[in-house]
Structure 1
Amino acid sequence: MRILPLLALACGLAAVPSAKAALADFGRCGTGLREAALAQGGQPERLDRVFADVVPDMSVLSLLDAQPEFKTPIWDYLAALVDTQRVDDGRARLAAHRPLLDGIAAQYGVDPFTVVAVWGVESDYGRITGKRPLLQSLATLACNGRRQAFFRSELLALLKLIDNGDLAAEGLVGSWAGAFGQTQFMPSTYARIAVDGDGDGRRDLVASVPDALASTANYLKRSGWRSGQPWGVEVRIPAGFDAAQAGRGKRRPLAAWRTAGVTRADGGALQVAAISDDSPAALLLPAGAAGPAFLVFRNYDAIYSYNAAESYALAIATLADRLRGGNGLVAAWPTDDPGLGRAERRELQALLSARGHDIGAIDGLIGDATRRALRTEQQRLGWPSADGRAGTRILQALRDAAPASPAPER
């Protein structure tokens, strides 16, 4: 095994003919990875085949600190994930898989709406499961950047799943961080939590909808889900409320929040079905005291454990409520430029295309080409900040504007 300089890794290396050579592209770390894989029972020839074309992908390192759950304004995040299209698609999935979901609810105690909401947020109901080769991403992260020990353990867990026959290495793709399948499990979570929902003797969260949905319910159950209880409720805080009392770790009995002047979002008395007055609850103010407020209970923590970000957990929770037939949030977000759902994003892209911008496919996904076009139009409109953000203001401005040839893009 050879040790390669970091510069060579950063520039990217061509695939090499054997796994020993390919793992050598990861330097001394590659040697350790191979030894650890063999120590947990991997066969040398199989390991060589699995890693034959695996070379470092240093682009994943920049994503470690760029997760959208922590970078995107919550009104943009929820607008994209809890839009009309995802609600309609989720209700269609509920109808199509009703017997399966009822069986899962009976076995694990998790309602169909929450299970389908996780499916919708994680992969748009199996449509978007990631494009990055898992072995490449995990090997790169195991040998570079921060959290190397974590990603090393995830890579070894993935290799064990392949050795056990749960997964095939060929064509295995997922997120940059190693989550994969219809409900995006990390390999170690897959090994501990995944179940065989269709009875074929394998745990296949990639191709089997029953396996993926049953495994999601099993995850939530093992994270403390309490059957029949809500995740939380939207509330209204009184004028002058001390926002320092908010936070997921600052729990008080439900009755104490009522005494503090917290009401239901419609102003009614704070009563929550299946939640007793002495049940602990936390107040969330994800956009500050001027935005929507939520009291959350034990089941919210189970959702939060799936991906530790408030915006993520609220996306699943509020999508589940919409799938139950709810109308969405009562309070408005504290912004004059709300985010857009995918239908509005496609309309925005169509307007940009009609003005001569080459943005590629009109698919509702805001990429670099769309952002460049948005910056050009914002500059044309004389906006003080041309940030390329896709929001309600620029959509309405382009609806109102007369067609024009685009200005030169900067």
Structure 2
Amino acid sequence: MKPSQRHLALLSRWGGLSLSAALLCACSSTPLPPTEGEPPASAVSAPSAASAAASASTAQVEAVTTAVITPQVLSTPGDADSYSARDDARALARDIAQAHELDEAWVWSALSAARYKSQAARLMMPAPRGTAKNWGVYRSRFIEPIRIRAGIAFWQQYQAELQRAQAQYGVPAEIIAGVIGVETIYGRYTGNFRVLDVLTTLSLDFPTGRSDRSPFFKKELGAFLKLCAEQQLAPDAVLGSYAGAIGWPQFMPSSIRRWGVDFDGDGQVNLQRSPVDAIGSVAHYLAEHGWRTGQPTFFDVTPPEDAAARAKLLAPDIVPSFSADEMRALGAILPDAAMQHTGPLALVLLENGEAAPTLIAGTQNFYAITRYNQSSYYALAVIELGQAVSQAPASSSSNP
């Protein structure tokens, strides 16, 4: 699909649907550097910024995310951070145009408007060596009053849509709500980086000092431009996380194109402004990544005392690899419900700094959540936030 003349004209200026200045200010606090398995920066940094916006209602958030910013020029040819004079950027434009059947001049117009973002490159770096993981600290970022209140309001407003998604895809409503809450505090913090900038930066200037993921980001940049062409979006106007994740559920562009769902029936998948599309898309994603309807996510477990047996159970990490009988034969103690579970289990360890670790027996559904973000800490936060939101009394949604 090639862009229309109207769409080509949009590339000559900056503007389009985006976040309002008010939300940009709320999102301006510096994101924490990612540690292994951390969720997107928009979620990690949100608690510190959320205090200033705790009283914002869901309706106010939706109004903010559909505001229009006055067009303004943010980069000009010759800027040090511009990609307009880069031969590798021009070559990438040719590759993307060919791979996605896009007009090369249009792709080059987009890439030549991109600017290098040093913060995106910096946030790609792993946490310093010796940084201790701590489930208790991690949990406190997400299972906290501001996020729970926002979740209860979201649950009340969209309960019918959450239940419809559960019926259609088999993913419990509380898990869907937990994902959206952990990712963006129910649409409040969807990121203030221009997606065009960060994906171009991470495609052509991926930081040294860690494994090179530039091929992944080149693929996502191509998917992003294809998405913009399909949905008639100005590439320079779409905002997201430091890694290029977009909207309420923080989907990467390729995931929007592959797993996004028009759940509100308006004829378009819009994860930036439609919480209903976000609900359907999260459920669809998890269903397609191994969710088993009716199964629990984990069981309590007492690990074996024998070090060798414990190491054997921990070796596959979060991948379910043992039957309940096999875990018991190695010395693990499981509740009766787990012994009746027919699927494989994983002994999952979450560190607590210098304190004793937390261990659970994760099921296939626990593993499915980690396909969204490859972290056991993330998965357990999603589960516990969803439980807190779905089980809280309605009166808990009011502001203090």
TM (norm. structure 2) is: 0.69
Counterpart of 2:101 in structure 1: which amino acid?
G
In the superposition, relative to structure 1, how do residues 277 and 231 fare at CA in structure 2: closer, same or farther (>3 Å)?
Answer: closer
1:54, distance to aligned residue in structure 2 (A): 1.8
Decide whether the 8 Å contact of 1:16 with 1:52 is kept in 2: no
Comparing 238-247 and 293-302, the one that deviates more: 238-247
- 1:180 is aligned, of 246, 250, 259, to 246
Q: 2:145 & 2:324 partners in 1: Cα distance?
A: 32
The CA distance in 1 between the partners of 2:187 and 2:298, in whole Å, is: 27
> In structure 2, which of residues 251, 263, 267 is the aligned counterpart of residue 201 of structure 1?
267
Equivalent residue for 1:58? 118
In structure 1, what is the equivalent of residue 102 of structure 2?
42
Tell me the equivalent position of 1:286: 350
Is the partner of 1:287 in helix, strand or coil?
Answer: strand
- What number of residue pairs does the alignment pair up? 304
Residue number in structure 1 paired with 2:138: 77
How many angstroms apart in 1 are the aligned matches of 2:232 and 2:325? 48
Give yes or no for contact 2:350–2:376 (8 Å, CA) kept in 1.
yes
Provide the rounded CA distance (Å) in 2 between the counterparts of 1:233 and 1:166. 46
Assess, with a 3 A threshold, how the Cα gap between structure 1 residues 76 and 64 changes in structure 2: closer, same or farther. same
Task: State the distance in 1 between where 2:205 and 2:223 align.
Answer: 18
Equivalent-residue separation in structure 1 for 2:216 and 2:385 (angstroms)? 31
**Does structure 2 retain, via aligned residues, the 8 Å contact 1:262–1:270?**
no
Q: Distance in 1 between matches of 2:116 and 2:264?
A: 36
Q: Are the aligned partners of 2:320 and 2:344 in contact in 1 as well (CA < 8 Å)?
A: no
Structure with more relative contact order (C-alpha pairs < 8 Å, separation 6 or more): 2
Q: Match of 1:318, SS?
A: helix
User: Are the counterparts in 2 of residues 18 and 52 from structure 1 also a CA contact under 8 Å?
Assistant: no
List runs of 5+ in structure 1 lacking aligned partners. Answer: 1-13, 327-410
| Aligned twin of 1:314 | 380
Question: RMSD between aligned alpha carbons?
Answer: 2.8
2:303 to 237, 241, 247: 237
- Say yes or no: does 1:30 pair with 2:89: yes
Give the 3 Å change call, closer, same or farther, for CA 284–96 of structure 1 in structure 2.
same
Contact 1:234–1:292 (8 Å) recurs in 2: no
Contact kept in structure 2, 1:74 and 1:286, CA below 8 Å:
yes
Report if aligned partners of 2:262, 2:277 keep a CA contact under 8 Å in 1: yes
Query: Which amino acid is 2:164 matched to?
Result: G
Q: Does 1:255 align with 2:325?
A: yes
State the TM-score, normalized to the length of structure 1: 0.67
Rounded to whole Å, the distance in 2 between the matches of 1:166 and 1:202 is: 11
Cα shift readout 1:178-214 (whole Å, capped 9, x = no counterpart): 1111000111111111011111111100001111110
Residues 63 and 226 of structure 1: is their aligned pair in 2 closer, same or farther, counting only changes over 3 Å? same
Map of 1:211 onto structure 2: 277
> 2:169 aligned with 1:102, yes or no?
no
CA distance in 2, matches of 1:72, 1:133: 30
Q: How does 1:5-404 map to 2 (within 5 A)?
A: 15-17=75-77, 22-25=82-85, 27-39=86-98, 40-44=100-104, 46-47=106-107, 50-51=110-111, 53-66=113-126, 72-145=133-206, 146-165=212-231, 167-237=233-303, 239=305, 242-244=309-311, 245-246=313-314, 247-249=317-319, 251-260=321-330, 262-263=332-333, 269-272=335-338, 276-287=340-351, 290-325=356-391
* Cα distance in 2 for residues equivalent to 1:31 and 1:106: 47
Which residue identity lines up with residue 296 of structure 1 in the other structure? G
Kindly indicate whether the alpha-carbon contact (under 8 Å) linking 1:122 and 1:182 is maintained by their aligned counterparts in 2.
yes
> CA 1:72–1:167 in 2, change beyond 3 Å: closer, same or farther?
farther
1:352-409 alpha-carbon deviations (Å, 9 max, x no partner): xxxxxxxxxxxxxxxxxxxxxxxxxxxxxxxxxxxxxxxxxxxxxxxxxxxxxxxxxx
Aligned partner of residue 251 in structure 1, secondary structure: coil
The CA distance in 1 between the partners of 2:107 and 2:197, in whole Å, is 14
Quick one: which amino acid aligns to residue 307 of structure 1? Answer: N
Q: Which has the larger radius of gyration?
A: 1
Aligned to 2:21: none
Kept in 2: contact 1:183–1:216 (CA 8 A): yes
Q: Equivalent pairs: percent with the same residue?
A: 30
